[in-house]
Structure 1
Amino acid sequence: MSEESVSEFSTELAELARDLVRIPTENPPGNEGAAAEFVYDWFREQGIEATLLEEPDPDRQQVGARVGEGGPTVVLNGHLDVVPAGDPEAWTADPYAGTIEDGRLYGRGSADMKTGVALAMLVARDLAPEIRSGELSGSVVVHAAMGEETADPGTLTLLERGFDGDYGIVLEPTDFRVATSTKGLSVYRIVVEGVATHASQPDAGTNAIDEARPLLDAIGEYDAELRDRGGSLCGGAFATVTEIEAGTGSNLAVVPDRAEVVLDRRVLPGEDPDAIDAEVEALLERVREERGVETTWTRIQTYASSSIPIDHPLATSLRDRSVEAVGGDGGVGEPWGIEAATDARNFVNDAGIPAVTWGPGDLDQAHTVDESIDLADAEIARGVLEEAVRAFIE
C-alpha cells in the first residue's frame, strides 16, 4: 500500500476500521481479547464509560459502552470475531494488513463487520456532547461482542448485563437495506455406524461411507421438499450437507467403521427448532426403515430466526434515510429480510427489544477471499446512522 493511497483515503473511520482489521480475531478458536482491549481503551480515551466483560468467557473478552443515562436508548451492536482467513497465499494481500486501495478497505473482517463496529464507536462519541448537555435526552449503548460467528452468547450476555435499550441496530453489511427479519439455522451432526475391516476384504465388514449414501440422498430429497414449501421475507429454507468425515486418522487400507455428516438446516421466521428436530428425526427413521441404515444425531449449533413488523418506526426511519442518502436501487427502499443469521435474534427473542440489521458493505463480501468494503459507502452510512439515532433519542 503506497503512502499516496493512505493519504487519499485516510479518514477517521477508515483508520479506525483498518486498526480493527489489523487485530486478528479468528473464530474458531476465538481470540477477541486484543480487539476488545483496543475498543475499551479507545472509549476510555474518549471519556466514554466502558466495561471490559469477561463473561461469558474470560479468555474472550468483549466490550459494552454507554453514553447517557436517560431514555430512550438505542443499542448499536457489532461483533469482534471473524471467520478464519484460510490460506493467506490465496489473498491478493495479507488478510490482516488492513490494505486501503482505490477507496476500499481490504482484509478479513473489513465488511463482516469491523467497519460496523467502528461506525458504532464513532457515532456514540459524536453524539456524546449533545447527550451530556441535555440537548438529547436519550442514550446510546455500543456492543463490541464476542462469538457471533459460532453462536456464542456474546450479545446475549451484554444485554443481560445491562447493556440493553429500547431499540437495537445490528451493523452487519446489508448494502443499506433494512432487514426486519433474519433467517436462523440448526446444525446437526449425524453419525453412521459401520464395521471396520481390511480393504482387501471389504465384504467382511460394513463400509460406513456406503451406509451414508442413502442418508445423503434423503437429505437431498428433504432439501427439495423445503424449497417447494415457499419462502419468507428472508428467502426459503434449505437443508445442506456442509461436512463429511470418515476414515481419517486411520490406516489407508481400513474400511471405515464410522462416518459423520454435518447437516445445515436454514430456519425461517416462525419455524420452531423443536419441530425441525422432529423433521430430522423422521428423515433418519425413514432411512433406517427403507435402507436399514442406523444413525444417531445431535444438534450442535442453533441460531434462532427473528422478526419485527416491516413498518416498525425503527425500520421505516432507517429505510427512509438510506433512500435519501443512496437512492432506492438494490431494494434499499423495500421491506427485506436477511438470509443470514444475526445477533438481532438476541434483541428480539431474548430481550424483547425491537431490532433491525443494517449497514454498509455487501453481504457477498463476508467470509470471502479478498474481503473488502467501499469506504465512501461507510462514510455515508456514518451520517445516516448518526441522524437515525439522534431522531430516536431526542
Structure 2
Amino acid sequence: MSELTELTRELVSIPSHEDETEAGDFVENWLREETDADVTRDPTGNVLARRGSGGESLALVGHHDVVPPADSQTTADGAYTVEERDGRLYGRGTADMKGSVAAAMLAFRDAAVGDTVSGRTQSDDDPADESAPELVFASFVGEEQGGIGARAAIEDGFTPDYAVVGEGSTGYSAPGVTDVAVAHKGRRGSTVTARGAAAHASEPESGENAVYRACDAVDAIRDLEFPAVEVLGEAVRGSVAVTGIDGGSAWNVVPEECEVTVDERTVPGERAPLERVEEIEGVEWTVDQDLPPMRCDDADFAETVLTSAREAQEGRDRAPELVSKPHATDAGWLAETGTTCVVCGAAEPGEAHTDTESASVEVLERCYEIYRGVAESF
C-alpha cells in the first residue's frame, strides 16, 4: 500500500461531519511530524502550514469537513468505513475531499521549493533564494456549510497570491482525465415574498391574492436571460430556477402571503437581475446565501498547472484541458479577495455526497504529482 493510500485511509476514517476537531488534529500533527514548516491552527479550526518566504505565495488548499455519511459508510461505533476495491477507495470524504487533501499534504512535504526539500533545511553552502516562492498548505473547516473556515481565514489575513484548490476536476473533458478548472459557478439562493390581504374565498375580490402576485413574480423570473461569460476560452453560463413555492393557510381563504425559493447559479462578474420582481406590487426579494463564483485571472498560472497535469498524465489517450465547474468551492471566496485560483482534484462528477462515494487510487497519486509539479515549477 502506498504512503498516499494509507494517509488517505487514515484521514477518511476520522468522522468530521459534525465536529472537524479530530481530523484537524490528525492533519496538524502529521505536518508537525513530517515537515519543518511553520504549522498553525487558527481559532476556527483551520490548519495552515508555510514553507519558504520572500517571494510570491502558492497555496495548496482543501477542506477536511464532510457532509453527513450514510449508514453504510459508518461502523457501529460511529467511525467511518474505508474500503479499497477495484483500484478505488470507498468512503465518505474520499472524493470530497480528503483524498486530495492527503495528496496535497505529501506534495507540500516533498516539493523542492524555497529553503527546504522534504522538510530538510538547505546547508549554509547552498543558501535559500530570498525571492523563492512561499509554499502554503491550508485545510479548512466548514466548507460544506458555506465556506465558514475559508472566510474566517481570509478575515484573519489569509491572502496567498496563487492557489490550487483540490476540489474535483477529473472526468470533465473525458472520463478519467484530471483537468484544470479555470472557472466555476457560484450559487445565490434567495426568497421572493409576495404579500396581499386575506379574504374569504367566496368573495375573492375583497382581498389581494398573494399567490397570484407570487405567480407574477415567477413569470418575471422565467423571462430572465441567463448571464454568460468567457474565462480563458471557456464559456461559463449561469442559470436561474424557481425551486419551491409555499402559500395559503386553508382551502377557503384567499392567501395573504406566499414565498417562492429561487436557485441562481452565478457566473464571474454577472448576476441575473432578480431585483426586478420588486417592481410587482406587494413583492420583495431577499438574498439568503451568495457563494461567489471563481475566475482565474492569470493565463500563465493556468498554463503552469495545466502543464503539470499533462506531465502527470503523459501517455494517456486524452490530454487534460482547461474546463469550468458547475459547483461553488472555497476558490470563490479566495478569488473574491484577489487570490488567483484554479481547481484541480480527484473527485469525478457524481461522486461527492453520494452513498457510494469513492476516489480512484491512480488519480489520487496523479494529483500528488500535479501538486508537487506545480509547486516546483511555480
Whether TM exceeds 0.5 here: the answer is: yes
Q: How does 1:237-256 map to 2 (within 5 A)?
A: 237-246=238-247
1:310-362 per-position Cα deviation (integer Å, ceiling 9, x unaligned): 632x2112212222332597985433222222222333331x33221112231
Distance 1:130 1:122, change over 3 A: closer
Report the counterpart of residue 152 of structure 2 in structure 1. 157
Secondary structure of 1:363's counterpart equals coil
DSSP-derived class of the 2:89 partner:
strand
The corresponding residue for 2:217 is 215
Is 1:226 the counterpart of 2:226? The answer is yes
Return the TM-score normalized by structure 2: 0.79
Q: Distance in 1 between matches of 2:20 and 2:265?
A: 27
> Of the candidates 71, 78, 88, which is equivalent to residue 55 of structure 2?
71
Contact 2:73 2:91 in 1 (8 A): no
Q: How does 1:1-394 map to 2 (within 5 A)?
A: 10-26=1-17, 31-47=19-35, 48-55=37-44, 61-85=45-69, 88=70, 96-127=80-111, 129-130=117-118, 132-134=120-122, 137=129, 138-161=133-156, 163-175=158-170, 176-193=178-195, 212-222=214-224, 225-226=225-226, 233-246=234-247, 257-271=256-270, 276=272, 279-285=273-279, 288=280, 294-309=282-297, 311-312=299-300, 314-326=301-313, 332-350=319-337, 352-392=338-378
Q: Aligned partners of 1:310 and 1:336: how far apart in 2?
A: 15
- Post-superposition offset of 1:105: 1.7
Could you tell me how far apart the structure 2 residues matched to 1:36 and 1:202 are?
62
Q: Percent identity?
A: 33
Displacement of 1:195 in angstroms is 5.7
Shift in CA distance, 244/46, structure 1 to aligned 2, threshold 3 Å: farther
Does the 8 A contact of 1:181 with 1:234 survive in 2?
no
Mapped to 1, the partners of 2:363 and 2:331 lie a distance apart of: 22
Post-superposition Cα deviations, 1:63-122, rounded to whole Å, max 9, x if no partner, equal: 11123334343211002233344xx36x68879322322221223322121112111211
CA contact (8 A) 1:319 1:332 kept: no
Amino acid aligned to 2:195: E
The answer to whether the Cα contact below 8 Å between 1:75 and 1:142 also exists between their aligned partners in 2 is: yes
Identify, as 1 or 2, the structure richer in helix. Answer: 1
Which is richer in strand? 2
State the one-letter code of the partner of 1:235. V
**1:43/1:131 CA distance change after superposition, 3 Å:** closer
SS of residue matched to 1:360: coil
SS at the partner of 1:235? strand
Deviations 1:170-217 (A, max 9, x none): 11110121122222232212223356689x979697775565334334
Shift of 1:389: 0.8
Cα contact 1:105–1:372 (8 A) shared by 2: yes
On the 8 A contact 1:64/1:163 being kept in 2, the answer is no
What code does the residue aligned with 2:167 have? E
**In structure 1, how many angstroms separate the alpha carbons of the residues matched to 2:97 and 2:140?**
11
Quick one: structure 1 residues 243 and 41, their matched pair in 2 at CA, closer, same or farther if it must change by over 3 Å?
A: farther
Amino acid across the alignment from 1:347: L
CA contact (8 A) 2:297 2:340 kept: no
Amino acid at match of 2:135: V
1:54 offset after TM fit, Å? 1.2
Normalised to the residue count of structure 1, the TM-score between the two structures is 0.76
Provide the rounded CA distance (Å) in 2 between the counterparts of 1:332 and 1:268.
26
Unaligned runs of 5+ in 1: 1-9, 56-60
Evaluate the alpha carbon distance shift between residue 13 and residue 131 of structure 1 in structure 2; reply closer, same or farther with a 3 A threshold.
Answer: closer
**Are the structure 2 counterparts of residues 123 and 208 from structure 1 closer, same or farther at C-alpha, using a change threshold of 3 Å?**
same
CA contact (8 A) 1:53 1:63 kept: yes
- Assess if the C-alpha contact under 8 Å between 1:231 and 1:237 holds in 2: no
List per-residue Cα deviations over 1:360-393 (Å, max 9, x = no partner).
231332233322111111112212221221122x
Q: Distance in 2 between matches of 1:53 and 1:354?
A: 23
Amino acid at match of 2:351: Q
* Alignment length (residue pairs): 353
RMSD in angstroms over aligned alpha carbons?
3.4
Q: Is the 8 A contact 2:100 2:167 kept in 1?
A: yes
Q: Which amino acid aligns with 1:107?
A: G
CA contact (8 A) 1:180 1:308 kept: yes
Q: Is the 8 A contact 2:296 2:302 kept in 1?
A: no
1:3-59 Cα deviation digits (max 9, x unpaired): xxxxxxx43222322333333333xxx63333222222222232543212114xxxx
Letter in 2 for 1:357: V
